[in-house]
C-alpha cells in the first residue's frame, strides 16, 4: 500500500472530486483514478461511488477513512521523530488543558530547558482521543484515562475562589466554605472545564445554586473579569492580576480535581515517558503551594 495513494484517497474524500485531488497533489487526474482503482483491488472493496456530481464514499470507504487518516498521521509523526533524533531534540507533543499549559508545562520548559515538540491546548473531552489517534505523544487530563493506556496520577489541584482585595469579604482567611459563595450575585468560571464540573457536583450535593457568567472560554480571561470587578472567579492555579486566593472547602474538605498523565505503552519512546513525568513532578513540588497543588491520594 503506497502512502501516496493513501494521500490521494484522503484528498478525494475531502474534496469529493478526482480533479480537485489532482490539483492539490499536482498529479494527472488519470493517474490518480488508476491508483485509486488499484487500491480498491488491493483492499477488495469499492471505496467510492462515482456519480455525476463527484465521488462519494461507500460504506467501505467510510470505514477505511479513519484508518487512512491514522496511517497518514503516524507516518508524519515518524518523520518528525527521526528528524528530532538527528537534531538531538525532543519531538514529544503534549496535549493538556489551558490551565496546565500556562501554569505548569510552559514555565517548566522555560525554567529547566526541557525541549518539547509542542504543547497543544484542548478541552478535557478531546485530550485522550488525540492520544489514541496518534496525534500527540503525552496527554494530561482531568479524568482517568481509558483502559489500555499507560497512565499515572499526577497531582490534585485545589479549587479556589479568587477576587480583588477591594471586593474581599474573606480577609485574614485562607479557606471559604462553598455555601459562603452564595454571597456573590454571579461567579466567573471557564465554561465546560473540569473546575466547573467539580464545582457543580459539590454544589449539587449541598443543594446550592450559583449564577455563572456565560461565554467565558478561558480560565485566564475569567480571572481578568474578576480583576476588573466583574465578580469572583472559581479556578485552580496561582492568582493573576493581583487577585487574592482562598481555597474552597465543602464539609471541611477542599474541593479538588485530579490530573492524570497518559501515553501509549507501545510508543516508540515509552521508556522515556516516566522520567519526563518525574522531572515535571520534581519541578512542581517546591512550587506546589503557590500552584495550589497537592500530591496526597
One domain for residues 179 and 191: yes
Does a structural domain hold residue 275?
yes
CATH no. for residue 49?
1.10.10.10
What CA–CA distance (Å, rounded) separates 4 from 182?
A: 60
One domain for residues 168 and 195: yes
In the DSSP assignment, the letter for residue 92 is: -
Does a structural domain hold residue 297?
no
The boundaries of the domain holding residue 192 are 160-254
Per-residue pLDDT of the chain (297 residues; tens, 9 = 90+): 788 888 889 999 999 888 888 888 888 888 988 989 998 999 999 999 888 778 889 999 999 998 888 888 777 766 665 665 555 445 688 999 888 998 999 999 999 988 788 899 888 888 999 898 888 889 999 989 998 899 999 999 999 999 998 878 898 899 999 999 988 888 899 888 889 999 999 999 999 988 887 668 888 899 999 999 888 999 998 999 999 999 999 999 999 999 999 998 887 777 888 888 899 999 999 999 999 998 865
Structural domain ending residue among the three candidates 47, 66, 83 = 83
Query: Residue 150: how many CB atoms within 10 A of its CB?
Result: 15
Predicted pLDDT of residue 214: 63
Structural domain ending residue among the three candidates 83, 104, 123 = 83
Predicted pLDDT of residue 54: 81
One domain for residues 188 and 75: no
| Domain count within the chain | 3
Does a structural domain hold residue 130?
yes
One domain for residues 148 and 199: no
What CA–CA distance (Å, rounded) separates 280 from 108?
A: 7
CATH no. for residue 200?
3.40.190.10
Structural domain ending residue among the three candidates 66, 83, 100 = 83
One domain for residues 151 and 261: yes
Predicted pLDDT of residue 90: 52
One domain for residues 79 and 191: no
SS percent in the chain: helix, strand, coil, step 5:
45, 20, 30
One domain for residues 66 and 95: no
Name the nearest CA neighbour of 139 among 260, 20, 45, 18. Answer: 260
Does a structural domain hold residue 165?
yes
Amino acid at each position: 500500500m503506497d502512502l501516496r495513494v493513501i494521500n490521494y484517497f484522503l484528498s478525494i474524500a475531502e474534496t469529493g472530486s478526482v480533479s480537485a485531488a489532482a490539483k492539490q497533489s499536482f498529479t494527472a487526474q488519470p493517474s490518480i483514478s488508476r491508483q485509486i482503482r488499484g487500491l480498491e483491488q488491493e483492499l477488495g472493496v469499492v471505496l467510492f461511488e462515482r456519480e455525476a456530481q463527484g465521488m462519494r464514499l461507500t460504506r467501505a470507504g467510510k470505514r477505511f477513512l479513519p484508518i487512512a487518516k491514522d496511517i497518514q498521521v503516524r507516518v508524519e509523526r515518524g518523520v518528525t521523530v527521526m528528524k528530532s533524533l538527528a537534531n538531538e531534540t525532543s519531538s514529544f507533543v503534549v496535549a493538556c488543558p489551558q490551565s496546565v499549559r500556562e501554569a505548569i508545562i510552559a514555565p517548566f520548559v522555560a525554567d529547566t530547558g526541557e525541549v518539547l515538540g509542542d504543547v497543544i491546548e484542548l478541552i478535557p473531552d478531546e485530550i485522550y482521543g488525540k492520544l489514541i489517534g496518534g496525534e500527540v505523544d503525552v496527554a494530561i487530563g482531568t479524568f482517568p484515562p481509558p483502559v489500555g493506556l499507560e497512565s499515572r496520577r499526577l497531582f490534585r489541584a485545589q479549587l479556589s475562589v479568587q477576587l480583588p482585595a477591594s471586593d474581599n469579604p474573606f480577609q485574614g482567611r485562607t479557606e471559604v466554605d462553598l455555601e459562603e459563595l452564595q454571597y456573590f450575585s454571579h461567579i466567573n468560571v471557564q465554561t465546560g472545564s473540569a473546575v466547573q464540573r467539580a464545582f457543580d457536583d459539590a454544589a449539587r450535593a449541598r443543594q446550592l445554586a450559583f449564577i455563572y457568567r456565560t461565554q467565558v472560554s478561558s480560565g485566564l480571561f475569567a480571572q481578568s473579569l474578576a480583576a476588573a470587578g466583574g465578580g469572583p472567579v472559581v479556578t485552580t492555579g496561582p492568582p493573576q492580576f493581583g487577585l487574592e486566593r482562598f481555597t474552597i472547602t465543602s464539609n471541611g474538605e477542599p474541593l479538588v480535581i485530579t490530573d492524570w498523565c497518559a501515553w501509549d505503552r507501545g510508543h516508540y519512546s515509552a521508556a522515556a515517558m516516566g522520567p519526563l513525568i518525574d522531572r515535571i513532578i520534581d519541578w512542581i513540588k517546591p512550587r506546589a503551594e503557590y500552584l495550589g497543588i497537592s500530591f496526597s491520594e
